[in-house]
Structure 1
Amino acid sequence: MFPRPIQQASAPARALYKTALPIALFLWLFPLLGVAVTSLRPASDLAMGNYFGMPSDIAWGNYLEIFTNSPIGQYIFNSFKVTIPTVIGTLILSTMTGFALGIYRFRSNLLIFFMFVAGNFVPFQILMVPVRDLTYGLGLYNTTGGLALFHIAFQTGFCTLFMRNFIAALPRELIEAARVEGVAEWKIFWYIVLPLMRPAIAALAVLVFTFIWNDFFWATVLTTSASTQPVTAGLSSLNGQWIAQWHLVSAGSIIAALPPVLMFFLMQKHFIAGLTLGAVK
């Protein structure tokens, strides 16, 4: 049913694997390498059509120019204003809903759980007009708060699915023993369940942070000005109608990718533990 480890495969299969893996890795990283090289090209190279050749010079000044000639600092700050409240809000809501759906047995438990999950299967493109009209009617259009609230509502379904399944796998004997001792339900959640959920919370925090930070679609739909646009939408505004500053866009893209990369490496141990906890018995 499951594929065998590559160490147990035949010698030709192992040789093919060792050959194909670096090739696949290079093809996957090639666009990123292209962006990195373009971020170091001088503007004269692009003006002469040197898009894919070696740069005539290493223009480290592009990384300084992106800060002096564009509001990328404001864009990055806006991304943090949207991403951090979204991560906190989704984790708070999903841990509580996951606890309720994973621990308590009541009528319509599965129905409510399926309603949370069903939102993940709705194509988000068809929500563009209704969500835009809703935020406009509530006075939240073109605000970082409105964008964060939408992401919290949209991501809570996936996070609830993740948390509910994690909590349902916890030993129920711990909870029953606490109830026998007369511990209140909120204390069971706070002192018993929540500490056991730390690996799952860390893994989910990294995933949600990456999802929201890299969001482009809703950033362009629900924000329009430099004072509210996240960095993904703000970078696209660097290209005017007649001039394309791809060297600055590439430099800004490298800078914009640093926060989620740094967060992943800082939380790598907890992230892997959260994804693999419960994978084996």
Structure 2
Amino acid sequence: MTADLKSTTRAGDVTPIAPGTAPDRRPRRGRYGVHIFLSAVCLAFVAPLLLAVYTSLRPYEETARDGYFSWPDKLSLDYYREAYTASGMGTYFTNTLIIAVPAVIVTLFLAAFVAFAVSRLNIRGGLALLMFFTAGNLLPPQVLVTPLYVLFLKIDLPWWMSDSMTLYDSYWAVILVNIGFQVGFCVFVLSQFMRTLPKEILEAAVVDGAGVWTQFWRITLPLCRPALAALATLEFTWIYNDFLWALIFISNPDKLPITSSLNNLRGQFFTDYNLLAAGSILVALPTILVFLLLQRHFIAGLTLGSSKG
């Protein structure tokens, strides 16, 4: 006598299913509402970007006459060429890379050191140290603007490090500030990720004679690659889009980052918003490119460590 197939509908209840029939796998009605909500949220985020792209492809005279939501008579890339040359975007982009790339690398390197010590080593006061780094993220950065401004004016640097001979009006000032404000967040994320790694891996390495540096550099750090890639994407985006610190600590216009180049597209009495839209799209392209290159690792870094076991 053959046993009938059964499916469990809830804990303790069993409903018989006729032989040869498959269970109903149709999506629940509630999922349709979730998909509609997520689609609406996605459209709300993408709509301004699509409008900016659409605006940047049309002449200003046309949008002034027919409106921004009218059907186009002509589409061209002239504004992109004009925005790149008129704003001097190449120089500003180089300045941004000089600031963002070292800041991201040093931030992740220092954060990985601290996170490893807090999460994988039995050091005294590890929890208090983690709370200290986490609490630093709660401090509004605007509070430290004046003290840092005065401090940077009093710190001397050699001529080959700064044209102004001080920390103020140099790339180092913006790099140090970004490292100081971003390392706390990275320590918190990396420490939580490292706690999910199996302890048996380090215990086996210790048995084989591995020192602390080997445990960190050759074992733990490679396993944290998804988390590091996700943090690198976020940190590069945040530092790349920073406008406050460069505006305060750099007075030389030739050293300003790319976010300042958009000011060059604004006229004294008139602003071509179609040209400004094209410049904004050009400024946003590097961050989009970084996300696309690290997308696989970024998503893995968001999902790994969400559950243990």
Partner in structure 2 of residue 81 of structure 1: 98
Q: CA deviation at 1:238?
A: 2.0
* Matched-pair identity in %: 39
Q: CA deviation at 1:106?
A: 2.5
Cα 1:166–1:21 change in 2 (3 A) is closer
User: Tell me, which stretches of 5 or more residues in structure 1 are unaligned?
Assistant: 1-6
CA RMSD in angstroms comes to 2.3
Partner in structure 2 of residue 32 of structure 1: 49
Partner in structure 2 of residue 249 of structure 1: 276
Give the TM-score normalised by structure 2. 0.81
Give the TM-score normalised by structure 1. 0.88
Note if 1:92 corresponds to 2:109: yes
Question: Aligned partners of 2:81, 2:36: CA distance in 1, in Å?
Answer: 40
Note if 1:182 corresponds to 2:213: no
Question: Aligned partners of 1:34, 1:245: CA distance in 2, in Å?
Answer: 15
> Could you say which structure has the greater relative contact order, defined with CA pairs below 8 angstroms and 6 or more residues apart?
1
User: Tell me, which stretches of 5 or more residues in structure 2 are unaligned?
Assistant: 1-24, 156-165
- Does the residue aligned with 1:237 lie in a helix, a strand or coil? helix
Q: Which amino acid aligns with 2:80?
A: Y
Partner in structure 2 of residue 231 of structure 1: 258
- Contact 2:117/2:123 (8 A) holds in 1: no
Q: Which structure would you say has the larger Rg?
A: 2
Q: Mean alpha-carbon deviation: is it higher for 39-48 or for 93-102?
A: 39-48
Cα 1:22–1:198 change in 2 (3 A) is closer
Q: Which amino acid aligns with 2:202?
A: I
Partner in structure 2 of residue 70 of structure 1: 87
Q: Which amino acid aligns with 2:196?
A: A
Q: Which amino acid aligns with 1:258?
A: L
- Contact 1:142/1:223 (8 A) holds in 2: yes
Partner in structure 2 of residue 117 of structure 1: 134
**Cα deviation 1:10-54 (Å, max 9, x = unaligned):** 52x344344444333322222112211221222334665844434
**Cα deviation 1:194-225 (Å, max 9, x = unaligned):** 11111111111111111111223323333344
- Contact 1:74/1:226 (8 A) holds in 2: no
1:5-154 mapped onto 2 (5 Å cutoff): 10-11=28-29, 13-45=30-62, 50-138=67-155, 139-154=166-181
Note if 1:205 corresponds to 2:232: yes
Q: CA deviation at 1:117?
A: 0.5
The structure in which a higher percent of residues are helix is: 1
Equivalent residues, number? 274
